[in-house]
Amino acid sequence: MSTQQASTFRLVTRSDFDGLVCGALLKHLGLIDDITFVHPKDMQDGKIEIDANDITTNLPYVPGCHLAFDHHLSETVRNVERADNHIINADAPSAARVVCHTNVGELCLSYGGGHLNAGTCQVDNDQAENALAEIVERIRADG
């Protein structure tokens, strides 16, 4: 991957429903252009190359990523000195909920880069909750 920071990012996430919803939310914001599904152990073992052009969700924290969203209590224990780009809420039921309750566009800008329109495509908590509900409803409707 390039060392120059991208205007859109690669999402690295688990291949579960939570990872898919995180991908849908971040894609809706125009922040990702690629998704890579990985196993959490591969992240911990350093088998996945991560750099400043990556956003991770629902995975063990790896230094060097642009942003990392998670909800696992074990990560708060494993990473006692949490990095500023590690957005974690162990009380949240999912990583998607952590993304929903975070002003992702503004975060991307504050860490140097991010989508050019991040200031105008920010999702506030109410809109994010509605987007998540709509995604879930569409999945249920498709059977």
pLDDT at 64: 92
Residue in the structure block whose two tokens are 């998607």: 96
Q: What pLDDT does residue 98 have?
A: 84
43 within a domain of the structure (yes/no): yes
Domain that residue 26 falls in: 9-141
The predicted pLDDT at position 35 comes to 96
pLDDT (tens digit, 0 to 9) for every residue of the chain, 143 residues total? 445 555 789 999 999 888 988 898 888 778 899 999 999 999 999 999 999 999 999 999 998 999 999 987 667 666 667 778 888 888 888 888 888 777 765 555 555 544 444 333 334 444 556 666 666 666 566 65
pLDDT of residue 32: 92
What's the pLDDT score for residue 132?
Answer: 61
Distance CA 96, CA 69 (A): 8
Tokens of 108: 């991307």
| Residue 4 domain-assigned (yes or no) | no
Rounded Cα–Cα distance for residues 140 and 115 (Å) = 31
Whether residue 52 lies inside any domain: the answer is: yes
Cα-based angle 120, 122, 126 (whole degrees, multiple of 5): 130
pLDDT at 66: 93
Residue 107 domain-assigned (yes or no) = yes
Q: How far is residue 15's CA from residue 22's CA, in Å, rounded to a whole number?
A: 11
How many separate domains does the chain show? 1
Structural domain contains residue 1: no
- What's the pLDDT at 124? 43
Q: Is residue 3 part of a domain?
A: no
- Specify the pLDDT at position 34: 95
In a domain, 29, yes or no: yes
SS3 105: helix
Residue 48, exposed/middle/buried by CB under 10 A (0-12, 13-18, 19+)? middle
The verdict on residue 90 lying in a domain is yes
The enclosing H or E element of 141 equals helix 125-141
